[in-house]
Amino acid sequence: MNLIQQLYNSFLSFGKNRAFCIDGKDITYFKFLEYINGIYNLIEKNISGKNNGIGIIAFETIETYAAFFACWFSGNYFVPINPKHPLERNKAIIKETGVKIVLTSKDEVSEIIYSGNVASLNIRGLKESGNKNPEESNGNQLLYILTTSGSTGVPKHVPINAKNVEAYCNAYFKVFPELDQKACVLQTHDHTTDASFTSYLLPLLKGACIYFLPEGQFKFLSIARMMLDKKITWVKLTPSVLAYLNPYIDDLDLKHIKYFGFGGEVLP
């Protein structure tokens, strides 16, 4: 069974479980599928065929997460776009990665869209009931394209296919079989980095619940505040976050967290 079908089956099998917790509001796997279905149908109405590039303005909303999977289920790939990044960088990403349309859950992105000369579709609140099976796919299906920071020169676009992601997931579960449907995972990463995808893909394959950070707040303080939630059991951070929290670590009661993962930077 391929990765896309595994994800779809997981959403059905764990339908009544919490998939996400957003500002204290729980969203089940069944409800998450409704968001995916709504965006999936919107994509089909606006793009023909498969393997199309779809830009997603990566706000921290349930619609953004649903859009990722709607792209995959419809046989297309997505390109995450951070609205806080420089306009010229986002314009170049849209132009160079084959983006046909851009999905957004908020309105304040007109400058990005107009400058990129692509159509935008607002997906805020979009959902439809019923089950919509994913398109047939294989390991070579392109899932997403990441763009490097450009610290070594010109930013590079890195394509990731289903086979790449499936290999990572399988290896992870062999090392950490403890991740299961009882886990509550804190997602702290920017969606334009590779760490974010594994932060939600892995838990969703196992029926776990994902907590993500409220927008518009100081990130380090939000992470500290969220980690105090007694329900959260898995956290993955960059070492720089740990370094920032270090002066306050003795005041944080984190005994309920079973797993801390660190990556993306050298540990101090």
Burial (CB count <10 Å: 0-12, 13-18, 19+), residue 154: exposed
> For 192-221, how does the pLDDT look when each residue is reduced to its tens digit (9 = 90+)?
888 888 889 999 999 999 998 887 667 888
Residue 143 lies in a domain: yes
Residue 268 lies in a domain: no
Contact 183, 203 (CB under 8 A): yes
Number of domains in the chain: 1
pLDDT mean across residues, the chain = 90
Q: How many residues does the chain have?
A: 268
> For 146-161, how does the pLDDT look when each residue is reduced to its tens digit (9 = 90+)?
998 777 667 899 999 9
Helix axes 162-175, 194-205, angle to 10 degrees: 70
Domain CATH for 133: 3.40.50.12780
Q: Checking DSSP bridges between strand 53-57 and strand 77-81, what pairing results, if any? A: parallel
Residue 19 lies in a domain: yes
Residue 20 lies in a domain: yes
Residue 222 lies in a domain: yes
> For 89-123, how does the pLDDT look when each residue is reduced to its tens digit (9 = 90+)?
888 899 999 899 999 999 876 666 655 568 889 99
What integer pLDDT is reported at residue 137 of this predicted model? 87
Residue 196's domain spans which residues?
Answer: 3-262
pLDDT at residue 249 above 70? yes
Residue 267 lies in a domain: no
Mean pLDDT value of segment 8-16: 97
DSSP 3-state helix, strand, coil percentages of the chain (rounded to 5)?
40, 20, 40
